[in-house]
Structure formats: C-alpha cells, structure tokens
Amino acid sequence: MSTPALQQHYLDKVVPALKKKLGYTNIHQVPRLEKIVVTSCMGKAPDRKVAVDDAVAEIAKITGQKPSVTYSKKSVANFKLREGEVLGARVTLRGARMWEFMHRFIHITAPNIRDFRGISSKSFDGRGNYACGIQDQSIFPEIEIDQIKRPIGFDLIFVTSAPTDAEGRALLMELGMPFRDMKKANEVEAPAAV
C-alpha cells in the first residue's frame, strides 16, 4: 500500500519546516497528527434511534469506517433522555484513513462550506488539539444531496502530539488547514528551552 499524499507531504516538507521554525534539535520533538475523531450527537431529536441510524450511515460514508454507537451515561429530563439510551455515533481515524480524510477535508470539504472564508483558529484545547463543528453533512462530496433525510451536524477533533496550542496550530497550518486568521496564527514562537 502506498503512502497517502498528505502523509508524504508531512514527512518531506512539514517536519523540516517545523523543526526549523520551532527550533527543535531532535526530529522526534516535531508534533504529529495522532488521530481524528468524528462524532455526532442526536440529543434533541424526537425519533432518536432512527436519527442515530442515519448518523451512523452518514459517518460511514464520509470516513470509510463503521462508527460505534454512543449511549447516554445519565438521565436528562429536559432532553427526555434515559440512562443507557442511544445518543449518537463516533469514529476514530488513524493511519492511512486519517491522512486521506484530512486531505479531503482540507482540499475538498472545507472549501464547500457556504460563504467559506476560513476556519476559526480559536478552538484549541490548551494541549495542541483542535476541534471544529460542521453543521451540515451536504458539504462532504461522498453524500448525495437527494439521499439526505435530515441535517446532521458533526464535530471533528484533530488530536496532535503538540504540547501547546501554538505548536499544534503551526502543525495544522503547515499541513494546509485553512484557518481564517492566518496572520495571527503565523506568529508562533519557539518553545522555551528546558
């Protein structure tokens, strides 16, 4: 099996660029993309079980991997939700599937967002991981618009090995993530020597 194009780009271009930009002495210090988690939750849907089946089918089409079903841990009266009830779907992508999904997201899916001006770079968690929400599945090219039964939103979580948000942002920018405020995001300082 051949190496995905984005992974080859990471090895050939991103690693040397980050090593120089962030002042790393060892190649193993360079942050890397570890996994991408795609989740969908149907908390407020009146026909929750059918909605979760739809979400499972849509996530499987988008990622090429069968998602697992998630269940509620607590009962929530406002959502008419009981403990142990079907709630959503989740899939974790690693390896070649992760790189292929990331490539499609950066170059095909994200530009399909209506009035696309870039993705916000503010959704980092303090440990170098990035999350973004997609409100409608119709932006994915794998989904046929005629077959959509209901709008399904997704959360995409990009988990990196970066210890800080600045390093995680630098990694995602070098990979080609279309951040909206690129000028601010470009101002990355090298980590302090320990």
Mean pLDDT on 69-84? 82
Q: pLDDT of 114-126, one tens digit each? A: 777 888 888 898 8
Instruction: Give the rounded percent of residues in the chain with a pLDDT score beyond 90.
Output: 37
Contact between 86 and 71 under an 8 Å Cβ cutoff? The reply is yes
Say if residues 88 and 41 touch (Cβ distance below 8 Å): yes
Instruction: Output the pLDDT for position 80.
Output: 75
d(Cα 182, Cα 179) in Å, to the nearest integer? 6
Residue 185's pLDDT is 44
pLDDT in tens, 26-47: 889 999 999 999 998 876 667 7
Neighbour order of strands in the sheet with 154-160: 68-71, 86-93, 33-41, 154-160, 130-134
Q: What is the DSSP letter of 66?
A: P
CB 96 within 8 A of CB 4: yes
Q: Which domains does the chain have, with CATH numbers?
A: 5-180 (3.30.1440.10)
Secondary structure (DSSP) of 3-52:
PPHHHHHIIIIIHHHHHHHHT-SSGGGS--EEEEEEEEE-TT-TTHHHHH
- pLDDT at residue 16 is higher than 90: yes
- Tell me the pLDDT tens digit for each residue of 84-111: 888 889 999 999 999 999 999 888 888 7
- The answer on pLDDT for 81 being more than 70 is yes
Q: What is the pLDDT of residue 171?
A: 93
